[in-house]
Structure 1
Amino acid sequence: MPRRTPRTTLDRPITPRRFAKFLKAASICVLVAGLLSPAVGGTATAAASNDYCGGQCSDILPPGENGNATLAQILLNQAFGTQPGHAEDQLGPYANLATGYSTLTDAKINTFFNDASFGVSSDQVASTEKPAGRSDVTIVRDKKTGVPHITGTTRYGTEFGAGYAAAEDRLWLMDVFRHVGRGQLTTFAGGAASNQGLEQEFWRNAPYTEADLQAQIDNAVAAAGDHGKQALADVNAYVAGINAYIDASDSGRYFPGEYVLTGHKDSITNAGTIDHFKTTDLVALASVIGTLFGSGGGGEVNNAISLLAAQSKYGVEEGTKVWESFRERNDPEAVLTVHNGESFPYAAKPDSPQGEALPDTGSVTQEQLVYDRTGSAAGSSATSASTTAATTARTSAKRGMSNALVVSGKYTASGHPIAVFGPQTGYFAPQLLMLQEIQGPGISARGASFAGLSMYVELGRGQDYSWSATTSGQDIIDTYAVELCQDDYHYLYHGTCTAMDKVEQKNSWTPTTADGTAAGSYTMRVWRTKYGPVEYRATVGGKKVAYTTLRSSFLHEADSIIGFQMLNDPDYVKSPATFQSAVQHINYTFNWFYADSQHTAYYNSGDNPVRASGVDAEFPVWAQAAYEWKNWNPATNTADYTPASAHPNSIDQDYYISWNNKQAKDYTTAPWGDGSVHRGNLLEDRVKKLVAAGGVTRSSLVKAMADAALEDLRAEDVLPKLLKVVGSSAVTDSTAAAAVSKLSAWVSAGAKRTETSAGSKTYANADAIRILDAWWPLLVKAEFQPGLGSDLYTAFTNNLPVDESPSAAHGPTGSHAGSSFQYGWWSYVDKDIRAVLGESVQGGLTQKYCGGGSLSSCRDILISTLKEAAGKTASQVYPGDDQCSAGDQWCADSIVQRTLGGIKHGKISWQNRPTFQQVVEYTSHR
């Protein structure tokens, strides 16, 4: 049956009148059938006997397990707000922790989390099915959450069931992201700005051809021996399960309603098709996940631009010192995950940098990605509408993610280790992750997996151990300056003029009244070299160059499947050492944490390339053999990587914390801002205090996490020093004096952004919060711009945004994204203010900026900007958007589940915590 041309209508509101009209026009039997689940049968399963957690494992993943909705369910949701079963039943418990954590006890944990024990007790079985009539696998769903518990008697059947369950819960989302990974979302789902933004941003970083995707599979299997062969067999079975569900839901007419709303299926005749999945689709999906969460580094060109600005302002020698002080690449005051003093040198600044290829000032331009149907470079109007959508969609997940709190049994009440940890993958509807339990030959695990990659549990628990990850961000990306020859599309490779490879993806869409997007088409074009895709063009010493981006995981996203396979295998992971061995097979840049009944462990994963001697990873280098990664093979993009022992790692440290902070001493990480004040300090201070007191419990560790999740980092760690400079007795202006009083009271009350009472949607200390939100950007600019100058100040803010408060839509995460305070100038302000106060500062800035170093002048600047901030109304500070009215402070902070399908959910109060989260304490071990 030929596919109908897609029409995007997901964002068009469904009114009761329109819903009634649709009912009249549509086939009632189709709509009624769509409200029903596929028929199920079979018997209940008893609770598993291979569970060593003793009922003390819990997890949560909002909004709900069910991410598929039929057409009727979507229409009912948009018209009346009704929700399909299990679509948002985890959202309430997740949200309620913000007001309920203060009185939390171990007995109340599962009020806010799910019981993550293996199996389903007979009285909690909601449904049992044999997918596609197979006798070797059973999918049981529990009543409370609808999570699939997949039990197979054969390996093939187990993975078939995992694919079938994934499609039951996330088919539409999986389809969206396989098209995102291929750069084909607009052709699939229409030309909305958000669709354009998604496909443009991801495809620029992973412009793969079909041959590239297949080669990843072939190479990963070949390199991993028996593990690789098993992984391919698992993937094939998983894909077969997905396709079996597509066929069943198509014939039964209970497929996701988004296929009708985008023109792929007809609600009356059932005409149209839902394409089967292929193994290469999973690699395309993996490339999206790898770009989002596991590709640290890059930014060398922006680094070079700000260095040149510093040198222009201060001269080469002093400008370089100023730049290094703001870069904080190895700050001695940074909070560390491995805090026992052990050093793990990586990407350190060389004594004598070699091969640097800094651009000529003003010569850098970003490589054109989008072209019109004639092949000409498209004007800004073709891409400007999608820029914000792209940035929000990608960076809301990539920039701020994940935390972990792990305490050794030596310091717990029970003597067993305790962990509270999880990834922050952003808030979406449906969620990018899905929950599942898989039990079969060689597999025994429960937890979360990315939809479409759930052949294994990626973050969760095994029989007697749990594991989780945070994004680490260490530098596995380098920028090379390839010298052009002949024209703009040829470059010198080892002295030979070589043609760049042109990779294109064409997209088109038809008119729609849903979002006002007219019919259109465009082509995305990326030029690839042996040193990776071209990202910028410039001149270096007058020579024309293309700056390329080479990451070690490029063409290797599929490789990490082996590590996840091992994590799910109870015969492989039996100890901290075997856990570390498993995650060493994951080439994404992650911090991995482990807990069983006796031990804890940590390991930092990623293929860290061995760079040539003298190469500074912070800046672009010439694309010449002398500056390439050691033993780099451009045909396969493989090289020598630092050994496992050189990666930050630890077993049984007293405690571990991670909130995307610095991993260990001398481990130079990619992100800016790893200095004296980092949101990791919020966890460090609380967990360190718990450990010092001893007797840590699951509830006390959850409280520590939840308390940090509501904290305003600026108010806890910087505001007291600012108020010390201001000094209440020196403030004669009544407006400023009142502001000082309110801010001081807020600090004394705990400096949190919390409601006056559950559900009030009004903050306690609301005026103080408004004042600080308004004050921070004003004081930072007034403190630093006079000394740095406008050009350098702007260049540094391009490297590191000034602020990332919950309502700061200008920050890298965008608004309503939950994750906050990862990136900002709090460390700079902290170091500078302490220096002005005459306090000790390690790794300080090269000069005092506030008031030129004069305490009285600094005080005047702070009071002046504070008065200005205090005079701003709530409507000015919180101007409103498509979600909130101007002046609605609570709403401006609130978390919104960003719609990726037809179902929408309500807002929840701000919390700065993982999306998926586990609370675990094992009582015994195999």
Structure 2
Amino acid sequence: MPWRTPRTVLDRLRTFRRLPGFLKSASACVLIAGLLSPLTQTAAAAADATASGDYCGGQCSDILPPGENGNATLVQILLNQAFGIQPAHAEDQLGPYAHLATGYPGLTESTINSFFNDASFGVPSDQVASTEKPAGRGDVTIVRDKKTGVPHITGTTRYGTEFGAGYAAAEDRLWLMDVFRHVGRGQLTSFAGGAAANQGLEQQFYRNAPYTEADLQAQIDNAVAENGARGRQAMADANAYLAGINAYIDASDKGRYFPGEYDLTGHKNAITNAGTIEHFKITDLVALASVIGSLFGSGGGGEVGNALSLIAAQSKYGVEEGTKVWESFRERNDPEAVLTVHDGESFPYASKPTAAKGEALPDAGSVTREPLVYDRTGSAATASATSASATAAKATLGSARRGMSNALVVSGKYTASGHPVAVFGPQTGYFAPQLLMLQEIQGPGISARGASFAGLSMYVELGRGQDYSWSATSSGQDIIDTYAVELCQDDHHYLYHGTCTAMDEVERKNSWSPTLADGTAAGSYTMRVWRTKYGPVQYRATVGGKKVAYATLRSSYLHEVDSIIGFQMLNDPGFVKGPEDFQSAAQHINYTFNWFYADSQHTAYYNSGDNPVRASGVDADFPVWAQPAYEWRNWDPATNTADYTPASAHPHSVGQDYYISWNNKPAKDYTTASWGDGSVHRGNLLDDRVKKLIAAGGVTRSALVKAMADAALTDLRAEDVLPKLLKVIDSSAVTDSTAAAAVTKLQAWVTAGAKRTETSAGAKTYADADAIRILDAWWPLLVKAEFEPGLGSDLYTAFTGNLGIDEAPSSGHGPTGAHAGSAFQYGWWSYVDKDIRSVLGENVQGALAHEYCGGGSLSSCRDILISTLKQAAGMTAAQVYPGDDQCSAGDQWCADSIVQRTLGGIKHGKIGWQNRPTYQQVVEYTSHR
């Protein structure tokens, strides 16, 4: 049998489904025996792993599905595909995570660890599953516990500690790390095949970070040079970490227990073991960091889209009124928005200037997207091909890009113990294997346990130290600006400070072999990005008749590695001794995150990111001319450095009564790049519940988990908007029997709590199923009927391009794709809320510029709502939930379900919908150093 490279891992797996005789062959039996042997070895006896320096008193817990083990041998993959057998610790966290959805109402302090795991330092002797001295080193030990298989790494030297971290990372995520170092370089198709999903992944990132090898190395050199002793230590740590990864590659290759995906993609020969797994190098870590930074830590970049909708608004209403309408939908600084820092302190950033300067709005109809993909003849790929790959990318990793990270933190003043309580975590999507991995690292200058991105786990990135925990949510403030560079000579030269300057052309050529499964022809294409000093070109247009290219510049461009210093500090018990030290560490992280902190006495918050100081009069929401007067202050194009707003200007706080975050607006006057920070935001689901706990006092860990879990199962539209819609309808005025029955069902659902919950654990059917179906069908109908007549189709379409109208769990569209868990982050709930309240004559702060439902007439609005409700009620489940590659049409529970998207050979089961972080901590420290 020839072992040729398929387009994707899944193509190879489909091949094996067609080859049942393979498992029966003599050569296969020899192969299986050899590959299983390391899996059945008895772990050596181990001494207790110490738990020194742990001040949590057994009250730190965490969870990360589906499981710690993200590697699988070829045999394990085949057994999983054929019989559903899971490797040890590959899926063992999925059940506890899923069961919180039905188990949280009865949660007590003593049952928290039925749904989470003990996150204390160390491993009790009776819970040690294995002890390992990686590569025979005497200065580091990796202990894994029986329950989760998490590596607990203890080193006597700094080098040995980091070597062990690298070795453990490769043990748990080698294939995933390899996939993402190729994604970061735009080389995934050459590595794993040319399927649309693979093309989409590499295109998604290469357009925004088209780095050369020299660029990757320069990031390392600059990070070391600019950070003194800490920079040198980071380099030493990274090199030790790489040595550990490569030691595992060598050992697993020799022992033939490396991930089976290398066999299935032709990098290794399953029979002879010919082939190689390339060692990792320092620039691979930069490539990985560029992917993570792009996914989670970069806000902004929508200036061209903003300009297009503004032009549409001005075309509809005229310049003055159109601008007013546009601003009302943009909700830059909505007075009704839920805030993380809610004590009234103002942190102005990216506000609308009194008189905008330097704007470079495109001429109507002139904007075109810059081609990225070219075929082997050098011609731009067809729109259908690029659209297909972009769709595939969104379905695969879109959920991670705009995830549902959240945080609930309560001051000790309001807790039963007098110590702060926190429930928080990041949302990284649901994948098999998971992008994050868990670990504990104990060594000189390092003492932490928690989650890190695979391949970047030389430090814990989100987790706990000896007497404190920290976590993050994406904040989305604008660190990306779009510059209109005037073209000269031809389409690939532009004016830079008056001189006609050539753009840099950066290419990545990829090719792939046929698949064994279906004989699909080999393929190839080239990705080409034109770079200016103002960043990569994203669009072409004319402005006032002049030909321009729109280039996007982000402050973290060429600087993804810089954040390593902040993470190093967070792991250092000698540095972080209180909330101010935590904030100082977070200041060294240039990704756009909200950071939260809790110890036994304090809570704190800090918003991170390199926020550029813009020229006076520049509006961050729109493109500006690429001229010195409108550049970031003291911007150096050679290094992409500039003046950044000081730490004091970033939203920050110590000791506020409580903090909540669900990617909502961080603070008063702090403008994010996101549309939809208005009167109804899913952050309200947390804020309302935590306020009630604060008012009652005596908050406990279990009470805060319940608040989070309750919000995680609530339909935002049903809790915060539906009651107002029903008020307009007025059940007594409904004469149509179909609409009246729908109103009754919806009202009963609201009264019951507006949740999307199963009738019982494992039932896979919803209580209030009809009401949920009706609202899912009704929402897009009512939004369109409410707003399109007044806005006109062009402006309505433009606004929906800025902000999708809906993001229900079953949505197969929008920024999260389908089966991604995250829901209700982006949508028109605030617009509907404000408009309906205006029609009802209620007080609305920051109202829309016009009333839209029925033209402002209550009776006309009522007619529209009843008409669309009747239409929605008549839709079948199969029409509302049409089915996809995971679910049959009409299966409501399955349509909402969370799927662990495969990034390797192992598949995991679906779980019911929960709108919560992937990795999550529950903490309450009892003492402090």
TM-score (norm 2): 0.98
Equivalence for 2:752:
749
Residue 470 of structure 2 corresponds to residue 467 of structure 1: yes
Tell me by how many angstroms 1:774 deviates: 0.2
Equivalence for 2:209:
206
In 1, Cα distance between equivalents of 2:719 and 2:609: 33
Equivalence for 1:652:
655
In 1, Cα distance between equivalents of 2:624 and 2:817: 32
In 2, Cα distance between equivalents of 1:57 and 1:710: 24
In 2, Cα distance between equivalents of 1:23 and 1:120: 41
Equivalence for 2:104:
101
In 2, Cα distance between equivalents of 1:737 and 1:23: 63
Equivalence for 1:485:
488
- Tell me if the contact between 2:6 and 2:515 (Cα under 8 Å) persists in the aligned partners: no
Tell me by how many angstroms 1:509 deviates: 0.4
Residue 890 of structure 2 corresponds to residue 887 of structure 1: yes
Equivalence for 1:29:
30
Tell me by how many angstroms 1:27 deviates: 4.2
Residue 502 of structure 2 corresponds to residue 499 of structure 1: yes
Tell me by how many angstroms 1:21 deviates: 2.0
Tell me by how many angstroms 1:522 deviates: 0.1
In 2, Cα distance between equivalents of 1:29 and 1:134: 32
| Aligned partner (choices 247, 250, 269) of residue 250 of structure 2 | 247
| Aligned partner (choices 489, 507, 511) of residue 508 of structure 1 | 511
- Tell me if the contact between 1:756 and 1:764 (Cα under 8 Å) persists in the aligned partners: yes
In 2, Cα distance between equivalents of 1:7 and 1:248: 28
Residue 257 of structure 2 corresponds to residue 257 of structure 1: no
Equivalence for 1:639:
642
| Aligned partner (choices 189, 193, 199) of residue 190 of structure 1 | 193
Equivalence for 2:424:
421
| Aligned partner (choices 27, 37, 60) of residue 63 of structure 2 | 60
What letter corresponds to residue 166 of structure 1 in structure 2?
A
Equivalence for 1:628:
631
Give the unaligned 5+ runs of structure 2. Answer: none
SS across alignment from 1:340? strand
Equivalence for 1:297:
300
Alignment of 1:116-127 (within 5 A): 116-127=119-130
Q: Evaluate the alpha carbon distance shift between residue 107 and residue 364 of structure 1 in structure 2; reply closer, same or farther with a 3 A threshold.
A: same
| Structure 1 residues 612-634: Cα deviation after superposition (integer angstroms, max 9, x where no partner) | 00000000000000000000000
| Structure 1 residues 857-903: Cα deviation after superposition (integer angstroms, max 9, x where no partner) | 00000000000000000000000000000000000000000000000
| Structure 1 residues 455-478: Cα deviation after superposition (integer angstroms, max 9, x where no partner) | 000000000000000000000000
Equivalence for 1:431:
434
Residue 730 of structure 2 corresponds to residue 727 of structure 1: yes
Equivalence for 1:849:
852
| Structure 1 residues 704-734: Cα deviation after superposition (integer angstroms, max 9, x where no partner) | 0000000000000000000000000010000
| Structure 1 residues 775-829: Cα deviation after superposition (integer angstroms, max 9, x where no partner) | 0000000000000000000000000000000001122211100000000000000
Q: Evaluate the alpha carbon distance shift between residue 515 and residue 905 of structure 1 in structure 2; reply closer, same or farther with a 3 A threshold.
A: farther
In 1, Cα distance between equivalents of 2:325 and 2:713: 34
In 2, Cα distance between equivalents of 1:516 and 1:839: 65
What letter corresponds to residue 33 of structure 2 in structure 1?
V
Tell me by how many angstroms 1:23 deviates: 4.2
Equivalence for 1:325:
328
Equivalence for 2:448:
445
TM-score (norm 1): 0.99
Equivalence for 2:687:
684
SS across alignment from 2:203? helix
In 2, Cα distance between equivalents of 1:921 and 1:591: 20
Equivalence for 1:540:
543
In 1, Cα distance between equivalents of 2:413 and 2:87: 45
What letter corresponds to residue 180 of structure 2 in structure 1?
F
Equivalence for 2:721:
718
In 1, Cα distance between equivalents of 2:413 and 2:891: 46
In 2, Cα distance between equivalents of 1:253 and 1:902: 17
Tell me by how many angstroms 1:43 deviates: 2.5
Give the unaligned 5+ runs of structure 1. Answer: none
In 2, Cα distance between equivalents of 1:407 and 1:833: 34
In 2, Cα distance between equivalents of 1:845 and 1:567: 43
| Structure 1 residues 308-360: Cα deviation after superposition (integer angstroms, max 9, x where no partner) | 00000000000000000000000000000000000000001000000000000
| Structure 1 residues 492-548: Cα deviation after superposition (integer angstroms, max 9, x where no partner) | 000000000000000000111547753100000000000000000000000000000
State the percentage of identical aligned residues: 85
In 1, Cα distance between equivalents of 2:754 and 2:432: 31
| Structure 1 residues 403-450: Cα deviation after superposition (integer angstroms, max 9, x where no partner) | 000000000000000000000100000000000000000000000000
SS across alignment from 1:823? coil
Equivalence for 1:812:
815
Equivalence for 1:378:
381
Equivalence for 1:130:
133
In 2, Cα distance between equivalents of 1:26 and 1:521: 34
- Tell me if the contact between 2:712 and 2:914 (Cα under 8 Å) persists in the aligned partners: yes
Equivalence for 1:110:
113
Residue 345 of structure 2 corresponds to residue 342 of structure 1: yes
Q: Evaluate the alpha carbon distance shift between residue 517 and residue 815 of structure 1 in structure 2; reply closer, same or farther with a 3 A threshold.
A: farther
Residue 234 of structure 2 corresponds to residue 228 of structure 1: no
Tell me by how many angstroms 1:374 deviates: 1.5
In 2, Cα distance between equivalents of 1:793 and 1:49: 60
In 1, Cα distance between equivalents of 2:728 and 2:15: 55
In 2, Cα distance between equivalents of 1:507 and 1:530: 26
Q: Which runs of 4+ in 1 moved over 4 A?
A: 3-7, 14-17, 513-517
- Tell me if the contact between 2:7 and 2:515 (Cα under 8 Å) persists in the aligned partners: yes
In 2, Cα distance between equivalents of 1:328 and 1:8: 43
| Structure 1 residues 64-123: Cα deviation after superposition (integer angstroms, max 9, x where no partner) | 000000000000000000000000000000000000000000100000001000000000
Equivalence for 1:18:
19
Tell me by how many angstroms 1:42 deviates: 5.8
Equivalence for 1:76:
79
In 1, Cα distance between equivalents of 2:717 and 2:37: 50
Tell me by how many angstroms 1:15 deviates: 6.7
Alignment of 1:496-575 (within 5 A): 496-514=499-517, 517-575=520-578
Instruction: Give the length in aligned residue pairs.
Output: 925
Using the TM superposition, name which of 244-253 and 373-382 deviates more: 373-382
| Structure 1 residues 149-175: Cα deviation after superposition (integer angstroms, max 9, x where no partner) | 000000000000000000000000000
What letter corresponds to residue 547 of structure 2 in structure 1?
K
- Tell me if the contact between 2:466 and 2:573 (Cα under 8 Å) persists in the aligned partners: yes
- Tell me if the contact between 1:535 and 1:549 (Cα under 8 Å) persists in the aligned partners: yes
Alignment of 1:722-801 (within 5 A): 722-801=725-804
- Tell me if the contact between 1:553 and 1:587 (Cα under 8 Å) persists in the aligned partners: yes
- Tell me if the contact between 2:372 and 2:527 (Cα under 8 Å) persists in the aligned partners: yes
Equivalence for 2:709:
706
SS across alignment from 1:488? strand
SS across alignment from 1:10? helix
Tell me by how many angstroms 1:8 deviates: 3.3
Q: Evaluate the alpha carbon distance shift between residue 445 and residue 9 of structure 1 in structure 2; reply closer, same or farther with a 3 A threshold.
A: closer
Tell me by how many angstroms 1:388 deviates: 1.0
Tell me by how many angstroms 1:387 deviates: 1.9
What letter corresponds to residue 96 of structure 1 in structure 2?
H
Alignment of 1:171-186 (within 5 A): 171-186=174-189
- Tell me if the contact between 1:216 and 1:558 (Cα under 8 Å) persists in the aligned partners: yes
| Structure 1 residues 170-204: Cα deviation after superposition (integer angstroms, max 9, x where no partner) | 00000000000000000000001110000001111
In 2, Cα distance between equivalents of 1:509 and 1:47: 50
Q: Evaluate the alpha carbon distance shift between residue 5 and residue 891 of structure 1 in structure 2; reply closer, same or farther with a 3 A threshold.
A: closer
- Tell me if the contact between 2:6 and 2:514 (Cα under 8 Å) persists in the aligned partners: no
What letter corresponds to residue 657 of structure 1 in structure 2?
I
- Tell me if the contact between 2:9 and 2:904 (Cα under 8 Å) persists in the aligned partners: no
SS across alignment from 1:595? strand
